[in-house]
């Protein structure tokens, strides 16, 4: 991907997520990258003219986590700090693995934040998000709520072997912006992922999603 900075310089080699989010309302693109050294997570956006804006480093992430995807709403970005971690100094074990002792967290930061001082994290045991289908905001009597629909790997260690073994199930994540609490609700008993929506509804509430059924015959023996 080639874009320019606000100073007019071209960049073509900077690493970034494979799942950037485009806000069809503003024409902006929101993206991030993770690294094996500090800062482990960096968020940035690209304006409609292709100019990359300043990096926002997330210092509250204490180690390198494989963050494959994220969610974006009208005003927020949502990340999941999963159990898939990277230890570049590992000698006796592969550098990428699953930390079963780690409790996954959901992190929320403003889309236009200048730094990570306003970001907050909430523990979400067992949540190892693989893909985000969509996310949006809802207003109610208690204030703003963020709703995200994501796929969760119930057997996260199997992602290294086969997606069909990871038992990816669809979940609805609801975040109360005022109380900083998170609630999770399973949406299907089937193994589903790779959701596709009408891009006009990205970051806005939608009703219909096309998903792929993830099936592996070897699961019949387990």
Binding site, by residue number, is 19, 68, 131
**Whole-number Å distance between alpha carbons of 167 and 153:** 6
Asked if 199 contacts 22 with a C-beta cutoff of 8 angstroms, the reply is yes
What is Dmax (Cα atoms) for the chain?
58
Indicate the DSSP class of residue 42. Answer: E
Overall fold of domain 3-221: Neuraminidase (2.120.10)
What pTM was estimated for this model as a whole?
0.89
Asked if 74 contacts 204 with a C-beta cutoff of 8 angstroms, the reply is yes
Using DSSP's 3-state secondary structure scheme, residue 185 falls into strand
**Whole-number Å distance between alpha carbons of 46 and 171:** 29
Binding site for Fe cation, by residue number, is 19, 68, 131
DSSP states of 113-180 as a string?
-SSSTT-EEEE-TT--EEEEEEEEEEEETTEEEEEEEEEEETTGGGGGT-GGGS-EEEEEEEEETTTT
pLDDT tens column, 103-138: 999 999 999 999 999 999 999 999 999 999 999 999
pLDDT tens column, 176-218: 999 999 999 999 999 999 999 999 999 999 999 999 998 765 5
Pairwise pLDDT comparison (76 vs 216), residue with the higher score: 76
pLDDT for the residue 201? 95
pLDDT of residue 1 exceeding 50, the answer is no
**Whole-number Å distance between alpha carbons of 123 and 173:** 12
């Amino acid at each position: 991907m080639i874009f320019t900075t606000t100073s007019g310089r071209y960049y073509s080699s900077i690493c970034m997520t494979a799942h950037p989010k485009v806000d069809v309302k503003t024409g902006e693109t929101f993206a991030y990258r993770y690294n094996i050294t500090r800062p482990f997570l960096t968020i940035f956006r690209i304006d409609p003219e292709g100019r990359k804006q300043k990096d926002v480093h997330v210092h509250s992430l204490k180690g390198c986590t494989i963050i494959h995807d994220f969610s974006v709403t009208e005003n927020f970005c949502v990340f999941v700090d999963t159990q898939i971690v990277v230890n570049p100094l590992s000698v006796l074990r592969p550098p990428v693995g699953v930390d079963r002792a780690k409790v996954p967290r959901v992190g929320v930061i403003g889309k236009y934040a200048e730094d990570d001082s306003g970001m907050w994290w909430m523990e979400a045991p067992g949540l190892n998000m693989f893909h985000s289908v969509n996310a949006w905001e809802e207003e109610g009597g208690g204030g703003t709520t963020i709703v995200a629909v994501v796929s969760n790997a119930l057997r996260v260690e199997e992602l290294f072997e086969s997606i069909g073994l990871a038992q990816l199930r669809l979940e609805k994540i609801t975040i109360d912006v005022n109380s900083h609490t998170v609630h999770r609700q399973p949406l299907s008993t089937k193994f589903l992922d790779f959701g596709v929506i009408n891009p006009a509804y990205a970051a806005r509430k939608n009703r219909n999603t096309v998903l792929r059924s993830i099936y592996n015959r070897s699961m019949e023996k387990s």
